[in-house]
Amino acid sequence: MKTYGSEPGAPQSVQVGISELAVSDGNDTLRSYGLGSCLAIALYDLESEIGGLAHTMLPDGDSADNSDVKPGKYADTAIRALLRRMVERGASYTTVEAKLAGGSDMFEFESFGDGVGERNVAAARAELEKLGVPIVAEDVGGDYGRTVEFTPESGTLLVKTASSEENEVTEL
């Protein structure tokens, strides 16, 4: 008898929407679509093959009244939530690395100063530095959107834009 669909234990494709995060301990592919000023934060531990992806919308959740908000909404709270969930699954905090993509300034609003995208990137960099997590690669800024595909098992982060082919984010 033929069956259709995924075999048990087969790699899955997981969509990570705005303000969401996901953790995988296998060769699943975590995807975020339509990153503009939003920032994709990929954390992974190659030794345990555990990693996660957050699709953050805003920079700083510590200063907001966010008691009812998803932890993935803000760059700083998303990083801490990803790390916590990864360690709970067996990742080693000391070997986690980060890759970033997104943080574009899609629109010019001179009255607001720095754009949201730029502030998202700055907040993520600051939080990762504070926690001692190295950023090993990034594709940030610009004025164009991105879609990302992240495979925690290998640490591979692929970035697609409307104006270019798929590119792997490999190093700074």
Going by the DSSP 8-state scheme, the letter that residue 139 receives in this structure is E
Sign of CA dihedral 14, 88, 136, 127: positive
Q: In what order do the strands lie in the sheet with 29-35?
A: 13-15, 29-35, 146-151, 156-161, 164-168
Task: State how far the alpha carbon of 30 is from the alpha carbons of 2, 5, 53, in Å.
Answer: 28, 18, 7
CB 54, CB 72: distance < 8 Å: yes
Going by the DSSP 8-state scheme, the letter that residue 71 receives in this structure is G
Residue 107, number of CB atoms within 10 A of its CB: 12
**Is 38 marked active-site?**
yes
Radius of gyration of the chain (CA): 16
- Exactly one of 21, 30, 35, 38 is catalytic; name it: 38
Task: State how far the alpha carbon of 79 is from the alpha carbons of 4, 109, 162, in Å.
Answer: 37, 28, 27
Q: Which residues are catalytic?
A: 38
